[in-house]
Amino acid sequence: MDLTIKEIAEILKSNEDSEQQIANIEFDSRKITSNSLFVPLKGTRDGHQFVEQAKENGAIATLWSEDRSRVPQDLFVFEVEDTKKAFQELASYYRKKIAPKVVAITGSNGKTTTKDMTEAVLAQKFKTYKTQGNYNNDLGLPYTILHMPETTEVLVLEMGMDHAGDLTLLSQISEPDSAAITLIGEAHIENLGSRSGIAKGKMEITAGLKKNGVLFVPADEPLLSPLVSSLQQKVITFGFTEGNVQAEVLKTTQYSSEFMIDGQRFSIPVIGSYNVKNALVAYSFGHYFGLNNEEIANGLKDFQLTKDRTQWSKAANGADILSDVYNANPTAMGLVLDSFAELPLTGRKIVVLADMLELGESTKQMHRQMANHINDSFAEVYLFGTEMQALYSELQKTQTQVYYFSEENKQDMIASLKQDIQPQDSLLLKGSNGMGLAEVISALQEK
């Protein structure tokens, strides 16, 4: 990290005058190492309680917004009104100092996978750094910026949102050179009111987009059309049958998807036409940054996917498990169900679906509508959670092999699955992260 105590003091309007170098910035005292700056945040527990622990672990400086009479000793102390805002200010300064090109990616679904694809493509030509895991909010994004190497040429940032205004802040901190919206779904509709409200929220990614920048959006999303029409920046659309950049899906197997763009064949190591759409975004970023088709193809063919996003693994008895359990909304669940149904697999296809959270007043209807994506391709359907009762009632009309388990009966569901699945079977697990399907996967993998 290329920051001194004096620089930080100037940013935060403090009086420290040391040229001492800061090696790292952390808000978790357990991650503090020698010569770090500690950022005490107020959450479930007040981070100010852990300043002494941070000092023991090697911190030489801390932010401080508590009573001045309790200022810690033997540390460089930067007194601020709000430690989180100060943390964000440091990130904004550091981004300007390192001066990478910034790529911003948001969307109701696919933003993490698209981030992974885009970084892999751009890494063919540039020194890149990307959002690690799901660090995509008002803490995670500045953390990502402050942890990028000094040599970073392109910074690929994932941006998440729960409420209106969230992306405005993130975009203003990062000032993207280029940005993309992958898809408008129903995630967080409880807070944003409607898909139209979600579309407006996603468009906040342009709040800090540079005037000569570009925005990539899906061509088949009518909610975005009126919103992008007044943008000063260039807008490029992508899709299958419409848009400036189009792809044709050629073949999908258990472990890959092949497609064509402008006569060039590409391959990605994930299933589903929805992931081909994500690859279209990565392709578009690649061309925007001057890469040729061969370089883009090399980046896409074996990119590394963030954990729990449509990943294959094995159960203890050899059955295949397709895990997509980090988040869920109706659009995302429908897409992965359709893709799983189309896969040419031997053995039975079994589906385990858990509640989709934060859908508001329409939650029962949205869960019930998942019946449109469940057909005879699936030998058995396991449903888990309070909201899945609505889908259970719907499926009982047409499906004989459908089973329901409440949240209190998770262990019963695990036991039933263990007894049921055969070595040649394939299982899809999909649900919101809060439903804990990762625990089910771990249990199935235990020998």
- Which residues are documented as binding site? 107-113
**CB proximity list for 422: less than 8 A, separation 6 or greater:** 317, 319, 347, 348
Cα 85–25–327 angle (5° rounding)? 70
| C-alpha to C-alpha distance for 55 and 73, rounded to whole angstroms | 10
Q: Where are the beta strands (DSSP E) in 194-247?
A: 214-218, 234-239, 245-246
Phi, psi of 195 (to 5 degrees): -65, -30
User: How many other C-beta atoms can be found within 10 angstroms of the C-beta atom of residue 397?
Assistant: 7
| DSSP-derived secondary structure letter, 46 | B
Q: Residues 156, 336: contact at Cβ < 8 Å?
A: no
- Alpha carbons 447 and 419: distance in angstroms, whole number: 13
Residue 105 forms beta bridges with which residues?
Answer: 158, 180
Q: Please give the full DSSP string across 104-171, using - where no structure is assigned.
A: EEE-SSSHHHHHHHHHHHHTTTS-EEE--TT--STTHHHHHHHTS-TT-SEEEEE---SSTTHHHHHH
**The residue count for the chain:** 447
Work out whether the CA dihedral 14, 16, 22, 28 comes out positive or negative.
negative
Known binding residues for ATP = 107-113
d(CA 160, CA 318) in angstroms, rounded, equals 36
Cβ 24 vs Cβ 35: under 8 Å = yes
Which DSSP state fits 289? T
Phi, psi of 7 (to 5 degrees): -60, -45
